[in-house]
Structure 1
C-alpha cells in the first residue's frame, strides 16, 4: 500500500466520527502548530482535546504516512495533499482542480528555462505544487504563495516547511488585496531548522502596498517589491 493511500485511510477512519472537512482542517492546523516549534502549543492542545485518544493516535499515524509520501523515495518536493484534497474534500467545488505535478514542472521550466531569481511567487497557490516545481529547478529561492482558501494555504505551508523551503504563505484575496492571516517559513534562530511563524499583515511581502511602493524605483526587480511585480510568477 502506498503512503498516500495509508494517509487517506487514517483520515477517513477518524472522519467517520467527526466529519471529513473538520478532521482534515484540524489535521492541517495541528501540523502547522507542531511545525511552529512550541509557539502554538496551546492551540495544538485546544484542537487535540476534541478527539478521543485512539483518534489522536491515528492523527499521528496519518502525519507519519504523509512524511513518507512526501519523501518520494528520497527525491522529495512532492505535494502530499493535493490528490487527497481533490478526491475527498473539494470535489471540484469552485473549480479546484490542481494542475498535475508533471504539468507544473513543465510550466516552471517553460517560464524560467535559465533558472529563477531570488524570489518566486504564486498568487493562487493551491497546495503549493507550482512552488514545489520551481524548487526542483532552484530550491534556494524564497517561495511566496497566496490563496483565498484557508485550507489550501495550510496545505502549502506544510508542503514548503516539510521540504525545507523558506518563504511565506498568506490566506488572502490577492485581487481585492484583503489579508486574513499569514505564515512565514524561516530558519529557527536557535535550532537552525525550518519552522513556521505566524505573521501579521504589516509583515507580509505578499500584500500589495500600492500607496507605499508607488514612488519607489522598480528598475531592479531584486531591489524592491513594487506593486506590479508581486503578481508575477518570478519577482
Structure 2
C-alpha cells in the first residue's frame, strides 16, 4: 500500500505527463462532478477518459489527501487550493495574489465581530478564502462568490461545498454584469447533504437585474410624477 502523499505532490506527479494547468483544472471539475451527486456523471467520465488508469487512481488519491489537509486538525474551513494555485499555476499573473488566510480572518472580524447576517458576498472571491474566514465567525449563513476567472470559481465552489457551506458561486464579470456559468450549493432534497447544482443566469442571485432602459424612459415620460427606479447591486 502506497503512503499517502500531500495533495500538491499528487497533482505535480500527474502533471509531468499531462501538463499542470490541465491536470489542476480537470481535478477541480471532476471534484465538482463528484459533488453533483450523479447529475454530472457523463462529464466526469468524459474527463477521466483522458487519463491512463493508474493516473486516474492518483487523482482519487489526490482527493483523499486534499480532504485530510482541509480537515485542518478538526477545525476545517481551510483553503485547500489557493496557495498551490499561486505557487504553481498563476505565479501572480494578472495580479492573482490571494489575501493570506490570517489577514482574511482579521478583516472578517473587523467587518462584523459579532457575526454576519444571513448572507455574505464576495464579488471577487478568488479561491473563496474570505468567505471561509466569514464562516469561522458564523457558518450558517448563505455564501455568495463571483470571479472572472473560471479556475478561481471552481476552487471557491469546491472549498465551500467540501466544508458544508451553502450558497452560490458564479463565473462572471461583476463589473460588466456578464454571466458565464453558475452553481448553487444546496441540501439535497432526498439525502439531506450539501451538493452542487448548476444554475442559469435567471436563477442567479448575483446577476444584477437591470431594468429595460427604454421601457423605463417611456414610463417616466408618460408619468411626470414617477419617482426614479433604484437598483441594488445584489438583489437579495
Cα RMSD over matched residues? 1.6
CA distance in 2: counterparts of 1:189 and 1:230, whole angstroms = 26
CA distance in 2: counterparts of 1:64 and 1:47, whole angstroms = 19
CA distance in 2: counterparts of 1:113 and 1:36, whole angstroms = 34
2:219 aligned partner: none
**Pair 1:102 & 2:94 matched:** no
* Higher Cα Rg, which structure: 2
What does the per-residue CA deviation read over 1:150-195, in whole Å, with 9 as the maximum and x for residues that have no partner? 0000000000000000000000000000000000000000000000
Contact 2:146-2:174 within 8 A present in 1 as well: yes
Gaps of 5+ in 2: 217-229
CA distance in 1: counterparts of 2:46 and 2:159, whole angstroms = 23
2:171 aligned partner: 171
**Pair 1:204 & 2:208 matched:** no
1:134 deviates by 0.3
Contact 2:208-2:233 within 8 A present in 1 as well: no
1:114 deviates by 2.2
Contact 2:118-2:142 within 8 A present in 1 as well: yes
What does the per-residue CA deviation read over 1:108-147, in whole Å, with 9 as the maximum and x for residues that have no partner? 0111122111000000000000000000010000000000
1:229 deviates by 4.3
Greater relative CO (CA pairs within 8 A, separation 6+):
1
1:211 deviates by 1.2
Q: TM-score, normalised by structure 1?
A: 0.89
CA distance in 1: counterparts of 2:139 and 2:191, whole angstroms = 21
**Pair 1:194 & 2:206 matched:** no
CA distance in 1: counterparts of 2:148 and 2:234, whole angstroms = 16
2:138 aligned partner: 138
The alignment of Structure 1 onto Structure 2 pairs a total of residues equal to 217
Gaps of 5+ in 1: 216-225
